[in-house]
Amino acid sequence: MKVFKIILSLLLAIIACLLIFFSINALDLSALLKEIVPLETMQQDAGLEKAVKRINDCLADGNQNRALRSLNRLLDDYPDKVHLDVQTKLDLFFYRNNKVMLTLGVYVLFFSAALAVSAFLKQQKHQTAVLVAILVASLYAGIYIVEDLVGVNSMLMTVLKKGAIYALLAVSMNLLNGFTGLFSLGQAGFMLVGAYTYAIFTIENTSRAQVYQYYQGGLVQFTLPTLVAILLAGLAAAFFAFLIGLPVLRLKSDYLAIATLGFAEIIRAVLQYDGLGRITNGSNLLRKFTTFNTALFPFAVSGICIALIALLIHSTYGRSFKAIRDDEVAAEAMGINLFVYKQLAFVISSFFAGIGGALLAMYQTTVQAAAFTSAMTYEILLIVVIGGMGSISGSILASFLFIASSEWWLRFLDNVTYIGTFKVPFFRSGFRMVVFSVIIMVVVLFYRKGIMGDKEFGLKSLMEPRKGGKRRG
Amino acid sequence: MYDFISANLPYLLAGISVGGQYAMIAIGYTMVYGILRLINFAHGDVFTAAAYAMVYMNATMPLYLSLPLTILFTVILGYSVERIAYKPLRSAPRMSIMISSIGASYLLQNLMWYITSGLARQYPTIPWISKTVTIFTATTKMVTLVTPVLTLVLVLLLVQLINHTKIGMAMRAVSKDFETSRLMGIKINKVISVTFMIGSFLAAIGSMLYFTNYTAVVPTAGAMPGLKAFVAAVFGGIGSIPGAVIGAFIIGIVENIIKAVGLTTFSDAFTFALLIFILIFKPTGLFGEVIHEKV
Amino acid sequence: MKKCLALILTVVMLLPVMALAENYAGEIVIGIYEPASGTSGAGGKQEALGIYYANYLAPTVELSDGVYKVKLVEVDNQSSPDKAPSAAQQLVSEGVSIVLGSYGSGVCIAAADIFDAAGLVAIGISCTNPQVTLGNPLYYRICYLDPFQGTVLANYAKDEFNATKAYTLAELGNDYDVGLAYYFAEAFKGLGGEVKGEEFPKGNSDFTAYLTSAVNSGAEIIFAPTSVEYATQIITQAAANGITIPIMAGDTWDNVRILEAAEGTDLSISVSTFFDEGDTGALAAEFVTGFKAWLNENPEKLANNGGSDIVAAVSALGYDGYMVALEALKRADSGDRDDIADVVAEVTYEGVTGFIAFDENGDAIRDQAFIIKTDNETGTWQFVKVQNVSDIAK
């Protein structure tokens, strides 16, 4: 077994090295172009010459994507004029899929290393850790490869990006509502604080005059690094949560809900207040701040955050939270300081809500206080319920399902559709949301436990029953 | 003095009128909460649905038909919301019912959005109460004067109903102790249904008055008045009908004073600030009874 | 069970990936990015009607390698900047060559970065806020801008009503409202006037307090460049409260709903707009008759126009927007996004709303606005005057 693993890992390592070698050595396109379109063929056809020139121009501009698009058109338009042998085809393949092949190579290398390591590990726990590492690595490699294949702006990537952000938001709300039993409806308010903090501190200095055009260019005149600003967004939300928590956490169930809802509305009004305009730009859009252009970023940030929340829930703190949820009086009798632990859960949940808000702002590329209404909180609450109160993996799964259905799969319901001459009834703008809310009501009424109940979807259910990590599967 | 009055009378009139309309909604909240301990988030949307019902019915039939039919429709809607969204969850934790009410509100809003494409509809003109009148220096619609009077009359009737009829007694019993009254042979479901129907009836009347003043109907039109009415109910002491009415008038008037002094951004936020203040310092509100949480 | 679920999920998530590579052979797709619902829904529909009418007249475009059919794909941005990015995203993934729209500036600003990232040119039709094109190299527009419109209206308020004090009312967080009110206030102050400005929260329906504040502030003009939904409420409540101060607004108020609300009242409502239905120029007159006939053919179209055949300025602009897009396609001689991006700045077109050419920001070089007012007896618009830049300069 051990020998077999080592041989396999060696083989994989060789393949990986080959992949990496070829990708790095992929020919430059203008040289390749000379192979594909010989000079004499080119001179015979003005159109072809123009097309080749266009590709070379794009390369000179450094716009590789556009060059590739133009190349595709050339290959489509002049299939009989181009000269393609196996060697050029292979070179072309590696040129086109340069990044993907490189990623694949690195991933396979990582995999073989993990395999080799696991061959020398005796303890089951360590082996599982290696397995988790491989799963996570393959998830991220997979996202990277898919992104490169379908393009950053495709609907799939949009759903994945937004889904990852909502996963964090749902898990952070679940920490409060599902694990600690505090029914808070302030999520949108904390997201708003996070989103604004992030946006205000990362708007490019050169654009500030434009963005704050009604407020003399604004008060903040420096830019923070992205990650620092995200952290600050979380801290700002946590700080607000701390202040709000002092009075409201003494309230019970629905009073707490309505009080936190009220605070979210107050935060929204304050951030729209004209008097703070030099900081918040009044009620107007904030834009031109640093955003991400790859799905890996939200996946990485919310992945780390969710992992932290999972660790917290499995610690003694997490057990105290659950004790409070199950029976406050008993928990207090066991020596748990109710107020301190509730405050802790509230602040931590808001911290991650703030980070989620910052990510959402990055995703939207513009941010405006008016959008952070209680409807947004309800949406996230419904995700938590669909996934199952008290299940992290449920929340994650439900987020992706929720976003994919509302943004993508159910979109066809919004379009007036004809099958032949038959007009499909009910299909028009708004129908999607009706169907969607009916589905939600069905879940709320008849599948009260949601997808996962309070179980987790871990390695345990995939493999033989053993302790496993909590990661999205 | 004369200048001061003529400058500020319109604010006061608007405040009283909108306060009366909040009161109509607030009663629905407070009665449901008194009995089920449930914040019925869908109540504001029932209020909006009443307005749409009026818009559509008035397009096809005369006013003497559309008015009662609108009220009937709203009562049935309120009843069905309870039947579909709350009854199956009677034994579930309170949080589940509340989530269900949020879901019901979401569904109603989306449904109304779908039917109307989210475009504003003009509310039909109801004669007489739409007439313009002049009081001292201020010009306003008749509805501004009618609202407080009608509100008081309806509340008095309702209080009579609760204090002097059998169903009223059952309601009081259920809100005092849900389990015991069930054991005593009170038909809980019937009481709850009647409560929702009364709440919806008042919401329908409130919606007629409200939208005669503010004539554009959009799917989310009821959300804010609904929340404010809820705050009014908490302010007055949840479960107490006179409390809800007084709370509603206070909120309506203060909201307009805030607008008058120029802090318009905070006119909605103020309501919530008031709510939080009340919850923290006097959770039982002005007239509420102390509810002991049993262990 | 769970394994099954996971498997199904993966498959379902991956299926559409394969369907993504859809191609419109012999077709060029133009995206319509307009609100069909929400607070600007009524205006968005009218604008889209103009585009569809133009497509009806010019359904194809001739490039050097043949005639292409032009297909229109419409998405609804729901008038809301937070719903807009995913609508924009949908257009991008539908593979459109160029985008037209939108009505309302906030949704354009919210979508600009997404179009930009996809290398997609967007031609704004009636979004007048400067921020739409500022810093967004691929966003162009064919209408005038708010600084211009604000100045025109401020001058009109001064000249026509001898106003020295104005009250502005805008919706919180609506870029169009806030922007136009700001530019109006700046221009009005520049003319020696005084301005009191207030904003109301989204979803507000009680305007009595605001109107009272306007009266109490001693304003001689109320400037309320809001969406149509709020506008009708402002008008009815102003009428109910016996307001006699003239009301003014920007291009959004050029809508049938305003006429309906104002009919039978004593209010004076003046509005600046892009196009006048009574324009006697050959192009404009031809458009107006043709468009009316086209509308009256089909009850659904008539309903989308607000139930009457009054030609809204945004429909005329929508028509011009489509024609400009066709010009851009012809000049680029391809449906490729990058090719179009290279040439669109050079496009010029003689449209029904006037001559269109872009400046270095991507804004149309426009020098005139029309001012119209409501005729409360007949429920129609009355043409008042054309205001030129040169008139203002003096």
- The distance from CA A401 to its chain's CA centroid, rounded to whole angstroms, is 13
| The pLDDT value given to residue C52 | 93
| The pLDDT value given to residue A225 | 92
Q: Dump pLDDT digits (tens) for A419-440.
A: 777 777 777 777 888 888 898 8
Lowest mean pLDDT among A186-190, A402-406, B279-283: B279-283
| Interchain proximity B221–C203, CB inside 8 Å | yes
Q: What mean pLDDT is predicted for residues B28-43?
A: 87
Q: Mind telling me how many Å the CA of B108 is from chain A's nearest CA? A: 8
In order, the DSSP letters of B57-74 are HHHHS-HHHHHHHHHHHH
Nearest to residue A359, comparing CAs of A201, A185, A233? A233
Chain A residue with minimum CA distance to C6 = A473
Q: How confident is the model at residue B263 (pLDDT cuts 50, 70, 90)?
A: confident
- Which residues of chain B lie closer than 8 angstroms to C228, CB-CB? 120
CB-based contacts of B292, cutoff 8 Å, min separation 6: none
- Cα separation, B108 vs B102, whole angstroms: 10
CB-based contacts of C121, cutoff 8 Å, min separation 6: C98, C99, C115, C138, C140, C328, C337, C340, C341, C344
| Interchain proximity B224–C203, CB inside 8 Å | yes
Q: Tokens for A230?
A: 């995200």
Residue A396 within any structural domain of the chain: no
Measured distance between the N- and C-terminal CA atoms of chain C, rounded to whole angstroms: 79
Residue A83 within any structural domain of the chain: no
Q: Dump pLDDT digits (tens) for C95-150.
A: 899 999 888 888 898 888 888 888 899 999 988 888 888 888 899 999 888 888 99
Interface test with C, best of A66, A284, A409, A410 (most C CBs within 10 A): A284
- The distance from CA B16 to its chain's CA centroid, rounded to whole angstroms, is 15
Range of the domain at A281: 155-376
Residue A196 within any structural domain of the chain: yes
| Residue A52 scores a pLDDT above 90 | no
Chain B residue with minimum CA distance to C80 = B118
Q: What mean pLDDT is predicted for residues A402-410?
A: 85
Neighbours of chain C (3+ CB pairs under 8 A): A, B
Nearest to residue C31, comparing CAs of C85, C79, C87, C83? C87
User: Measured between CB atoms, does C147 come within 8 Å of chain A?
Assistant: no
Rounded to 5 degrees, what are φ and ψ at C19? -80, -5
Q: Mind telling me how many Å the CA of A262 is from chain B's nearest CA? A: 5
| The pLDDT value given to residue C23 | 41
Q: How many contacts (CB atoms, under 8 Å) link A and C? A: 111
User: Residue C5: how many CB atoms within 10 A of its CB?
Assistant: 13
Angle between helices B267-281 and B241-260 (to 10 degrees): 140
Nearest to B265 among A248, A251, A273 (CB): A273
Residue A388 within any structural domain of the chain: no
What is the pTM for the complete model shown? 0.85
User: Measured between CB atoms, does A153 come within 8 Å of chain C?
Assistant: yes
Q: Tokens for A434?
A: 């009706």
For chain C, percent of residues with pLDDT exceeding 70: 92
Mean pLDDT of chain C: 85
- Which residues of chain A lie closer than 8 angstroms to B114, CB-CB? 428-431, 433-434
Interface test with B, best of C80, C198, C208 (most B CBs within 10 A): C208
Q: What is the DSSP letter of C308?
A: S
Mean pLDDT of chain A: 84
- Cα separation, B165 vs A421, whole angstroms: 60
Residue A2 within any structural domain of the chain: no
Q: How confident is the model at residue B290 (pLDDT cuts 50, 70, 90)?
A: low
- Cα separation, B255 vs B206, whole angstroms: 18
- Cα separation, A367 vs C73, whole angstroms: 27
Q: What mean pLDDT is predicted for residues A160-174?
A: 94
| The pLDDT value given to residue B10 | 82
Three-state SS for B216?
Answer: strand
**Window B:10-69, CB contacts with C under 8 Å:** 10-11, 13-14, 18
The CATH architecture one would assign to domain B2-281 is Orthogonal Bundle (1.10)
Nearest to B259 among C210, C237, C257 (CB): C210
- Which residues of chain B lie closer than 8 angstroms to A447, CB-CB? none
User: Tell me, what's the ipTM?
Assistant: 0.87
Q: Mind telling me how many Å the CA of B8 is from chain A's nearest CA? A: 24
Please give the domain boundaries of chain C with CATH numbers for all domains. Answer: 24-143+283-363 (3.40.50.2300), 146-273+370-393 (3.40.50.2300)
User: Measured between CB atoms, does A287 come within 8 Å of chain C?
Assistant: yes
- Which residues of chain B lie closer than 8 angstroms to A248, CB-CB? 276, 279-280
Those residues of chain C whose CB sits closer than 8 Å to some CB in chain B are: 36-39, 41-42, 78-79, 172, 198-201, 203, 205-213, 215-216, 228-230, 232-233, 236-237, 239-242, 257, 260-261
Q: How confident is the model at residue C8 (pLDDT cuts 50, 70, 90)?
A: low
- Cα separation, A13 vs A249, whole angstroms: 56
Q: Mind telling me how many Å the CA of C75 is from chain A's nearest CA? A: 9
Three-state SS for B91?
Answer: coil
Q: Dump pLDDT digits (tens) for C17-43.
A: 444 434 444 789 999 999 887 778 888
Question: What one-letter code names the amino acid at A360?
Answer: L
- Cα separation, A361 vs A368, whole angstroms: 9
- Cα separation, A189 vs A183, whole angstroms: 15
H-helix or E-strand spanning residue B184: none
Q: How confident is the model at residue C169 (pLDDT cuts 50, 70, 90)?
A: very high
Chain A residue with minimum CA distance to C108 = A366
| Interchain proximity B118–C38, CB inside 8 Å | yes
Strand pairing report for C247-249 and B121-122? unpaired
Q: In chain C, what are the helix, strand and coil shares in percent, each to the nearest 5?
A: 45, 20, 30
Q: How confident is the model at residue C12 (pLDDT cuts 50, 70, 90)?
A: low
| Interchain proximity B117–A429, CB inside 8 Å | yes
Q: What mean pLDDT is predicted for residues C177-183?
A: 90
| The pLDDT value given to residue B54 | 94
CB B258 within 8 A of CB B270: yes
User: Taking the domains of chain B in order of start, what are their residue ranges?
Assistant: 2-281
Q: Tokens for B210?
A: 């409200």
Question: H-type helices in C94-203, by residue range?
Answer: 105-117, 146-161, 175-190
- Cα separation, C131 vs B115, whole angstroms: 34
Neighbours of chain A (3+ CB pairs under 8 A): B, C
Lowest mean pLDDT among C64-68, C183-187, C229-233: C64-68
**Window A:246-285, CB contacts with C under 8 Å:** 269, 272, 274, 282-285
Q: Dump pLDDT digits (tens) for C72-89.
A: 988 888 888 777 888 888
